[in-house]
């Protein structure tokens, strides 16, 4: 059993990971300012984790950029004998378009927020960290499947902030012994817990394909726009590596185990399935799962998109003994279970 701080634990990936960590017996302190999430997510996580889980999840409403909030979180997580064992750092902003319009906000939350967190970790002698990085680091990939050794060449402010934090982590790891750090480069996290109790609940118009499709399926939006039908792919639509959020959550557990059981480490690993699916294939699979037609329209390509982005997932398999277990049909089934049971997302609290 480890004592863990989870920043951004109320969010989409954080909430699913909290559930997997509670089920594995860990004690958690979540620090989240609910900038893009609802407290209801963590209530449901506790309910899903079952008897006894409530006492192992403390929630602090606060901001990673505020030292006082970080101090509260570290104090809450410490036992009488020891400090927190590790941090999993999800908190951040993630919308590419928004990052182009509001770059300073992205540098502030993602980069400055991570810097504050690392300073608090160093001050408390907690040097084990799992960081949410992103495949967006690779920009337009030159090699597909993309290995971790591919050049880091982001093409938008969001990607630059993730690259900057990864660099900060390399600098920190090199500065003194004792750091154990994993930067996990997620591909396209989608789906939901199979119960349909927790899932992705984006504010406003979804930025990503999968929540868009599910909102069309449930009647919240009219049709899906497919950006580009002339890509050099098998059906002309873009190909991505979709990873079930429960597989991703289990990837965090595997990374944590690897860090806690070894000496100094600096891991930079892709978390993806290694399989590519086209936009049209995802639409067809979702239609099959929900038994409804998903209207779509093929429109012009979007600037900044690549034809195909698929992970080389072999390093994570070798280093962590982890690989994805769930296929596109399960992603769509579980995603639909969440969306159909929660058509408007989590209840909005007044």
Ligand X SMILES: NC(=O)c1ccc[n+]([C@@H]2O[C@H](COP(=O)([O-])OP(=O)(O)OC[C@H]3O[C@@H](n4cnc5c(N)ncnc54)[C@H](O)[C@@H]3O)[C@@H](O)[C@H]2O)c1
Nearer to ligand X by Cβ, of 34 and 107: the residue is: 34
The one segment of 58-66, 117-125, 233-241, 297-305 that binds ligand X by CB under 6 A: 58-66
Nearer to ligand X by Cβ, of 132 and 278: the residue is: 132
Distance CA 218, CA 265 (A): 45
Minimum gap (Å) between residue 63 Cβ and ligand X:
4
Query: Smallest Cα–Cα separation from 308: which of 272, 284, 347?
Result: 272
Say whether residue 251 binds ligand X (CB under 6 A).
no
Both tokens of residue 99? 């990052």
The one segment of 2-10, 172-180, 223-231, 250-258 that binds ligand X by CB under 6 A: 2-10
* Residue 293 backbone dihedrals phi, psi, to 5 degrees: -80, 140
Are the CB atoms for 64 and 7 separated by under 8 Å?
A: yes
Nearer to ligand X by Cβ, of 98 and 236: the residue is: 98
Minimum gap (Å) between residue 176 Cβ and ligand X:
25
Q: Which long-range contacts (CB under 8 A, 24 or more apart) does 289-293 make?
A: 289/329, 289/332, 289/333, 289/335, 289/336, 290/217, 290/332, 290/336, 290/340, 292/217
**Residue from the set 19, 86, 87, 113 that interacts with ligand X by CB under 6 A:** 113
Say whether residue 209 binds ligand X (CB under 6 A).
no
Say whether residue 10 binds ligand X (CB under 6 A).
yes
Nearer to ligand X by Cβ, of 36 and 309: the residue is: 36
Minimum gap (Å) between residue 281 Cβ and ligand X:
18
**Residue from the set 5, 18, 29, 64 that interacts with ligand X by CB under 6 A:** 64
Say whether residue 107 binds ligand X (CB under 6 A).
no
Distance CA 260, CA 265 (A): 10
Q: What is the DSSP letter of 222?
A: S
Distance CA 232, CA 241 (A): 16
Nearer to ligand X by Cβ, of 31 and 144: the residue is: 31
Are the CB atoms for 96 and 155 separated by under 8 Å?
A: no
Minimum gap (Å) between residue 10 Cβ and ligand X:
4
Q: Is 158 a catalytic residue?
A: yes
- Which residues, other chains included, contact 264 with Cβ-Cβ below 8 Å and sequence gap of 6+? 173, 177, 178, 179, 180
Minimum gap (Å) between residue 34 Cβ and ligand X:
5
DSSP 54-120: GGGEEEEE--TT-HHHHHHHHHHH--SS---SEEEE--S---HHHHHH-HHHHIIIIIIHHHHHHHH
Distance CA 332, CA 329 (A): 5
The one segment of 12-20, 284-292, 325-333, 337-345 that binds ligand X by CB under 6 A: 12-20
Residues contacting ligand X: total by CB under 6 A: 27
Nearer to ligand X by Cβ, of 264 and 278: the residue is: 278
Say whether residue 157 binds ligand X (CB under 6 A).
no
Say whether residue 335 binds ligand X (CB under 6 A).
no
Name the residue with tokens 């944590």.
Answer: 256
Say whether residue 246 binds ligand X (CB under 6 A).
no
Residues 86-105 contacting ligand X, CB under 6 A: 90-92, 94
Nearer to ligand X by Cβ, of 222 and 332: the residue is: 332
Residues 13-52 contacting ligand X, CB under 6 A: 13-14, 31-37
Residues 116-135 contacting ligand X, CB under 6 A: 132, 134
- Which residues, other chains included, contact 255 with Cβ-Cβ below 8 Å and sequence gap of 6+? 130, 182, 184, 267, 269, 320, 322
Which residue among the candidates 106, 138, 158, 160 is catalytic per the annotation?
A: 158
List active site positions: 158
> Where do contacts with ligand X occur on this chain (CB under 6 A)?
7-8, 10-14, 31-37, 63-65, 90-92, 94, 109, 113, 132, 134, 186, 189
């Amino acid at each position: 059993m480890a004592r863990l701080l989870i920043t951004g634990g109320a969010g989409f990936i954080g909430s699913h990971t909290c559930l997997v960590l509670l089920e594995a017996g860990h004690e958690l302190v979540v620090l989240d300012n609910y900038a893009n999430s609802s407290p209801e997510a963590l209530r449901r996580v506790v309910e899903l984790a079952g008897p006894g889980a409530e006492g192992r999840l403390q929630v602090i409403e606060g901001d990673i950029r505020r030292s006082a909030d970080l101090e509260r979180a570290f104090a809450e997580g410490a036992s009488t004998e020891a400090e927190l064992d590790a941090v999993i750092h999800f908190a951040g902003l993630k919308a590419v378009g928004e990052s182009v319009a509001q770059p300073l906000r992205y540098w502030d939350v993602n980069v400055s927020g991570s810097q504050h967190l690392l300073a608090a970790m160093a001050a408390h002698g907690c040097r084990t960290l799992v960081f949410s990085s992103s495949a967006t680091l690779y920009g337009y990939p030159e090699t597909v499947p993309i290995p971790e050794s591919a050049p880091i060449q982001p093409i938008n402010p969001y990607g630059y902030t993730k690259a900057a934090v990864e660099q900060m982590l390399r600098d920190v790891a090199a500065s003194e012994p004792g750091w154990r750090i994993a930067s996990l480069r997620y591909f396209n996290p989608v789906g939901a817990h199979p119960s349909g109790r927790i899932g992705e609940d984006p504010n406003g118009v979804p930025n990503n394909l999968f929540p868009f499709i599910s909102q069309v399926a449930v009647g919240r939006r009219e049709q899906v726009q497919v950006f580009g039908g002339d890509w050099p792919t098998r059906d002309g639509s873009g190909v991505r590596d979709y990873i079930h959020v429960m597989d991703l959550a289990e990837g965090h557990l595997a990374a944590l185990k690897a860090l806690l059981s070894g000496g100094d480490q600096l891991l930079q690993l892709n978390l993806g399935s290694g399989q590519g699916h086209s936009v049209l294939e995802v639409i067809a699979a979702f239609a099959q799962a929900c038994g409804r037609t998903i209207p779509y329209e093929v429109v012009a390509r979007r600037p900044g998109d690549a034809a195909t982005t698929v992970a080389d997932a072999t390093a994570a398999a070798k280093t962590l003994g982890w690989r994805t277990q769930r296929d596109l049909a399960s992603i769509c089934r579980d995603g639909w279970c969440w969306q159909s049971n929660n058509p408007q997302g989590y209840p909005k609290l007044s």
